[in-house]
Amino acid sequence: MSTTTYPASYRFDPPSATASLSTRWFAIGLAAGVAAIAGALSSGQHFYRGYLIGYMLILGFSLGSLALLMLGHLTGGNWWMIGRRVMEAAIGNLPLLTILFIPIWLGRHSLYIWLDPAYVTAHASVAAKGAYLNDRFWTLRAVIYFAIWNLWALALRSGSARQDGDASPAVWQKLKVWSAPGMLVYGITITLACTDWVMSLDPAWYSTIFGMFFMISEMLSVMALMIVILCSLRGFAPYSKILGPDKLHDYGKLMLAFTMVWAYFSFSQWLIIWAGNLPEEITWYLDRIHGGWQTVALALVFLQFALPFMLLLSRELKRDARKLVPVALLVLVMRYVDLYWLVAPNPFPGTSADAHHLTYHWTYFAAPLALVSIWLGAFFWHLGKRPLLVVTEPMLPRLWEPSHGH
Amino acid sequence: MTDQVLHGVVAEFTTPDGLVIACKKARAAGYSRMDAYTPYPLEEAAEAIGFTKTQVPLLTLIGGILGGLSGYLLQYWVHVLAYPMNVGGRPLHSWPSFIIITFEMTILFAGITAVVGMLTLNGLPQPYHPIFNHPRFTAASRDRFFLCIEAADPRFELEKTTRFLQATDAIDVAEVAD
């Protein structure tokens, strides 16, 4: 592969639109944040749940990007080269996510029932998990997860910045060296983190596939988000030159694959628990298919799986941005609904109030909206800092070649 | 060659670009009965000669639906009608546990239908094809790209078509007997 000089019309600089997008999202985030804080004062327990739903969603945007970025360093691919700076901007938000975790730590007694000594004494199976599920170890683990994630984000982002000015293979080889163990570390940390922050909301329940389910959910979120962001910036160089129907087709195919794996893991977990029919396992599902929650469950079956699956089978739809973006937006909305269904039906700590009937508090909307907006504001700020493609990428000229050139 | 039936006129190209451009030109000129031969799959060439729609996806869908139905109905017949057995108090018609077999049968039937349907529609394997009469055709599996405009084409005229192909990037244009 020869070193390609690009025609002068090829621009890699981020469009100035990123700055105004950043400001706009920060403004929305601020407004929604004020509303969410008002909600916190009126109903702390609902606010923290809403916050957790939003937090897990934006954490998924960043960690899913981290996973796909490292995967791409090891495997390559045209879709990856196009989306690389988008994913790098997303992992640039990990320091922000570390700060945004503080409210969860502060509100942990309103979120996690196993922090209530009376509950633990009354439930022998939860008391038996005390060596893992206790305040101090839970906090320590959170510190470790964020230290690891920030370390990898820093290494991958600084290495990538160096690549902008230095085409020597040593620079990108080093990124591969970080990526291979990074995949393993991501798998372990996200499994433990989703156990700590989501599964432990119902401390009596357990599922070993939950971590895998979370990983795939995060990657599905990122694939949908990347389609929306890339298509919304398709009017600007360099995306306008390279994001043709064949490239969109790749993104559509990947979103179809992740949609199917999401359904596969969700169904596997449910089938095994249904077949086992053990009291300590099935209660989690019983809470989620009665008292109005079954509507949400069915919405997930049809709108997170069946409808996107059938639509994405169409080749024509995957190659047309105007049709693909609405499907990606549906997937993103359903990611939020899925997290709502995972978080909201759990028992409330410290009160006799139970969540066995469908509950929707307005902070479930305000807090996630604030978090997603702040995340997008910071994301566009990061995206505007670097060229949108890594010019020294050895395989980059492939993006300009006609697709039959391989 | 005069007493033999003609299969068509074949142009030889050294690059995929040359082939694709010639295919597009030929289609624009109104030719419809033609075929392109390449050493590796070239999606653009298929599009350029107008081969955009195939029945294989529809066949695969039908195969998949039939496979899924047969898998489900087989289990229903076994567990509800032919050999009803109480397993841990679950209903005889336990659809969740039927899903896995149903899914696998869908994939199996869809896969088999796709392969068999593809072979039926494209007529492979084909031990003899007139294009093999072209002395240089073996290069189509190495590094050359061929476009054949067939004599069966309603717009085919030996001299005109030959001149048309000579006007492209072809390095060689030859007649091939049927």
Enter the tokens of residue A43.
């109903």
Tokens of A246: 């064949």
Residues 6+ apart with CB under 8 A from A316: A323
Residue B87 sits in the same domain as residue B140: no
Residue A137's Cβ-side half-sphere holds a number of Cα atoms within 13 Å equal to: 10
Q: Per the CB < 8 Å rule, is B17 touching A267?
A: no
Q: What pLDDT is recorded for position A11?
A: 65
Question: What per-residue confidence (pLDDT) applies to B84?
Answer: 93
Range of the domain at B14: 6-53+127-177
Asked if residue B1 belongs to a domain, the reply is no
Distance CA A346, CA A13 (A): 47
Q: What is the pLDDT of residues A266-301, one digit of tens each?
A: 999 999 999 988 988 999 999 999 989 999 999 999
Among A159-173, A321-335, B88-102, the range with the most confident prediction by mean pLDDT is A321-335
State whether B49 and B60 are in the same domain: no
Does residue B61 share a domain with residue B48?
Answer: no
pTM for this structure? 0.87
User: B76 to chain A, minimum CA–CA distance in Å?
Assistant: 17
Q: In this predicted structure, which of A79-83, A86-90, A191-195, B31-35 has the lowest mean pLDDT?
A: B31-35
State pLDDT tens for residues A213-236.
Answer: 999 999 999 999 999 999 999 888
Does a structural domain hold residue B112?
yes
Give the separation between CA A60 and CA A359, rounded to whole angstroms.
Answer: 24
Chosen domain end from B84, B103, B122:
B122
Q: What is the pLDDT of residue B1?
A: 47
By the 8 A CB rule, do A392 and A162 touch? no
In a domain, B173, yes or no: yes
Cα separation, B33 vs B2, whole angstroms: 22
The predicted-structure confidence for A105-136, as pLDDT tens digits, reads as follows 999 999 999 999 998 998 898 999 999 999 99
Q: Given this model, what pLDDT does residue B49 score? A: 85
Q: Which single residue is written with the structure tokens 């009965």?
A: B33
Cβ(A341)–Cβ(A278) below 8 Å: no
**Residue B167: inside a domain, yes or no?**
yes
Between A265 and A357, the more confident residue is A265
Token pair recorded at residue A75: 């495997």
**A224 neighbors A232 (Cβ within 8 angstroms):** no
Question: Residues of A numbered 241-300 whose beta carbons fall under 8 angstroms of chain B's beta carbons: which are they?
Answer: 267, 270-271, 274-275, 277
How close, in Å, is residue A404 to chain B by CA atoms?
6
Q: Which of B98, B122, B146 is the last residue of a domain?
A: B122
Check if the beta carbon of residue A43 is closer than 8 Å to that of residue A49: no
Are B64 and B109 in a shared domain?
yes
Smallest Cβ–Cβ distance between A275 and the set B16, B20, B97 belongs to B97
**Residue B173: DSSP 8-state:** E
Which residue has 């009937």 as its token pair?
A357
ipTM: 0.74
CB of A61 closer than 8 Å to CB of A375? yes
Q: Number of A:B CB contacts under 8 A? A: 23
Backbone angles phi, psi at B145, to 5 degrees: -120, 130
Residue A404 has pLDDT above 70, yes or no: no
CA pair distance A212, A215, nearest whole angstrom: 5
**Spatial distance between the Cα atoms of A49 and A113, rounded to a whole number of angstroms:** 13
Q: Which residues of B touch A (CB under 8 A)?
A: 16-17, 20, 42-45, 88, 90, 96-97, 99-100
- B27 and B45 together in one domain: yes
Q: Is the pLDDT reported for residue B178 higher than 50?
A: yes
Are residues A271 and B97, on separate chains, in Cβ contact within 8 Å? yes
Question: Are residue B115 and residue B62 in the same domain, yes or no?
Answer: yes
Question: How much is the pLDDT for B71?
Answer: 96
**Cross-chain Cβ contact B96/A405 below 8 Å:** no
Pair (B44, B61) in one structural domain? no
**Coarse DSSP helix, strand, coil percentages of chain B, rounded to the nearest 5 percent:** 50, 15, 35
Detail the DSSP E strand segments found in A329-388: none
Distances (CA, A) of A257 to A101, A216, A250, A313, A366: 31, 10, 11, 10, 31
Question: What is the Cα–Cα distance from A5 to A11, expressed in whole angstroms?
Answer: 12
Cα(A45)–Cα(A25) distance, rounded to whole angstroms? 26
**Per-residue pLDDT at A392:** 81
B61 and B105 both lie in a single domain: yes
The 10s digit of each residue's pLDDT in A253-262 is: 999 999 999 9
Q: What is the rounded distance in angstroms from the CA atom of residue B117 to the CA atom of residue B131?
A: 24
Per DSSP, A14 falls in state: P
Percent of chain A whose pLDDT exceeds 70: 95
Minimal Cβ distance to A267: which of B42, B45, B99: B99
Q: Is the pLDDT of residue A406 over 60?
A: no
Any domain includes B41 = yes
Indicate whether A3 pLDDT > 60: no
Q: How far apart are the first and last CA of chain B?
A: 10
| B166 within some domain | yes
| Residue among A61, A173, A90, A62 at smallest CA distance from A386 | A90
The string of DSSP letters for B78-116 reads: IIIIIS---STT--SS-HHHHHHHHHHHHHHHHHHHHHH
Contact indicator for A238, A388 with CB cutoff of 8 Å:
yes
pLDDT at A165 over 70: yes
pLDDT at A401: 67
Mutation target vs A (from B44, B62, B65, B102; most A CBs, 10 A cutoff): B44
- B2 confidence band (pLDDT: 50, 70, 90): low
Are B26 and B78 contained in the same domain? Answer: no
Strands (E), chain B: 6-13, 34-37, 145-150, 172-177
**Given CA atoms A371, A372, A374, A378 in this order, what sign does their dihedral have?**
positive
Q: How confident is the model at residue A405 (pLDDT cuts 50, 70, 90)?
A: very low
Per the domain annotation, does B77 fall within a domain?
A: yes
Average pLDDT over residues A56-83: 95
| pLDDT computed for residue B133 by the predictor | 87
**Residue A330 reports pLDDT greater than 60:** yes
- Please give the biggest Cα pair distance in chain B: 82
Crossing angle of helices A210-232 and A78-91, in 10° steps, is 100
Chain B residues in contact with A282 by the CB 8 A cut-off are none
**What total number of domains does chain B contain?**
2
Residues B33 and B91 in one domain: no
Q: Are residues B97 and B151 located together in one domain of the fold?
A: no
Give the DSSP letter of residue A198: T
Contacts of A98 (CB under 8 A, 6+ apart): A146, A150
Query: Hey, what's the torsion of the CAs at B68, B74, B80, B82, to 10 degrees?
Result: 170
CB nearest to A403's CB, from B44, B97, B100 = B44
Question: Is the Cβ pair B44, A277 closer than 8 Å?
Answer: no
